[in-house]
Structure 1
Amino acid sequence: MSGSARAWVRLPSGRRLDLLAPTPFDWTDEDLAIGLARTFRWGGHSVWPGAPLSVAQHSMAVLALRRRARPAPVRAEALRELLHDAEEGLTNFDCISPLKPFLGPGFMALQDRLASVVAQRYALSPWDVEAKRLHKRLDVAMAAAEAVHVAGWSRAEVRAVLGIRARVMEADPLAAAFGGVPWQPWPPELAAERFLEALRALQEPLAARPGATTTPA
């Protein structure tokens, strides 16, 4: 990559982020929440009228499933779960999985750089083997449910066409906490607000620990 290469984006806060050379100080929490709320899953396709399903809502749903699991996550683990797709909010692009190999190593390296600075910014510990296995199981379970309840695939197609083997859950994991119509995608403004509230709630106790450092807002 040329030393003069740049890929600037200007964020809602007015900060600038070079996607090719990011640092942990280039965005605010609000920027991240807005970016994830405006980044759509399933290629932006949905059977629902209005906005498609955002990565922000998906991330909160996976966290809700993780909180039901045993053992329940400590705050640091919950924060890592909430931010598992955070780099997508900085690129505003959630690539469907089968397409990723065709985008080449450059795109994968860009994603890895962004994930790395997200981990630095929020002091996320690496996944251990068991935690990663559980996360993948819950993430795939959400994908199976979203495929049917949001994107409009049939249950047979989820298995035969998409190759997802997880059982399709019926209950929306976010409905108990937020109400509304189960599985209905939230408007971007609402998704950003709820994601930001969850992010701040998980950060504050960590920042209050002795010796902890706060991250830039």
Structure 2
Amino acid sequence: MPSGRRLDLLDPTPFDWDDADLALGLARTYRWGGHSAWPLPLSVAQHSISVMLLRRAASPTLSPLDELRELLHDAEEGLLGFDAISVIKPFLGDAFRALTRRLEHVVFLRYGLPAWDEISHAAHKKADRLAAASEAVHVAGWSADEVRRTLKIRAGILQDDPLAAYYDCTPWEPWPPKLACKRFLHELERLMVAIKPAP
């Protein structure tokens, strides 16, 4: 890791990275196989902030701990350096699923996140699919019909980018890795302070 820590992907512990390592890994891991209609691909870091904002908008009383879980919902991809596109996941098999679950488990341990329950996971998946459908159209260049027919995503497609108002940035434009890292790390640190118990 850039921090000098060492992560054993086959036997990870919650102490194998620091927050900056994770932010950088997510900023350098790309969605949609790295394909984009823009000059840059979309990072998992940028996607993660989008999902957090969509969950916050849907549930204004969402706790900082729940926001943190949304922000970190794909954190294992940043440690692995790989976001498998949906179509190939069935071919990667049980061993790959076990590996990603193991990484997710140590992420949840490190950051004190509760496991998903049925209700919270359903709300999360709704936000995640909404982000994915919108990214497919506005970032990857799919048509709305292709999103439904080929990608099998039934969620609606946002016209307004939740990040645009939050950061005053160009709607749907992927951020450079350095900026994605900085913004993800800022959100992570903000939420860690918010959930820290009072002395």
In structure 2, the residue matched to 1:53 is 42
Quick check: which one's helix share is greater? 2
| SS of match in other structure, 1:17 | coil
Return the letter of the residue paired with 2:129: V
Q: 1:71 Cα shift? A: 4.7
Q: Is the 8 A contact 2:71 2:188 kept in 1?
A: yes
In structure 1, the residue matched to 2:58 is 69
The equivalent position to 2:194 in structure 1, one of 205, 211, 217, is 205
Structure 1: any 5+ residue segments left out of the alignment?
A: 1-10, 211-217
Return the letter of the residue paired with 1:178: Y
Aligned residues: 199
Q: What is the alpha-carbon distance in structure 2 between the residues aligned to residue 204 and residue 70 of structure 1?
A: 21
Q: Does 1:17 align with 2:18?
A: no
The equivalent position to 1:155 in structure 2, one of 144, 149, 162, is 144
Q: Percent identity?
A: 60
Q: What is the alpha-carbon distance in structure 1 between the residues aligned to residue 66 and residue 52 of structure 2?
A: 10
Structure-1-length-normalised TM-score: 0.89
Q: What is the alpha-carbon distance in structure 2 between the residues aligned to residue 36 and residue 71 of structure 1?
A: 26
| SS of match in other structure, 1:18 | coil
In structure 2, the residue matched to 1:7 is none
Q: Deviations over 1:21-78 (max 9, x none)?
A: 00000000000000000000000000001x2000000000000111111353101100
Q: What is the alpha-carbon distance in structure 2 between the residues aligned to residue 179 and residue 85 of structure 1?
A: 24
- What is the Cα-based RMSD across aligned positions, in Å? 1.0
Structure 2: any 5+ residue segments left out of the alignment?
A: none
Return the letter of the residue paired with 1:164: I
Q: Is the 8 A contact 2:163 2:169 kept in 1?
A: no
Structure-2-length-normalised TM-score: 0.97
The equivalent position to 1:103 in structure 2, one of 92, 110, 123, is 92
In structure 1, the residue matched to 2:110 is 121
Q: 1:128 Cα shift? A: 1.6
Q: Does 1:30 align with 2:20?
A: yes
In structure 2, the residue matched to 1:8 is none
Greater radius of gyration (CA): 1
Return the letter of the residue paired with 2:188: L
Q: What is the alpha-carbon distance in structure 2 between the residues aligned to residue 36 and residue 197 of structure 1?
A: 13
Q: 1:114 Cα shift? A: 0.3
Q: Is the 8 A contact 1:150 1:184 kept in 2?
A: yes
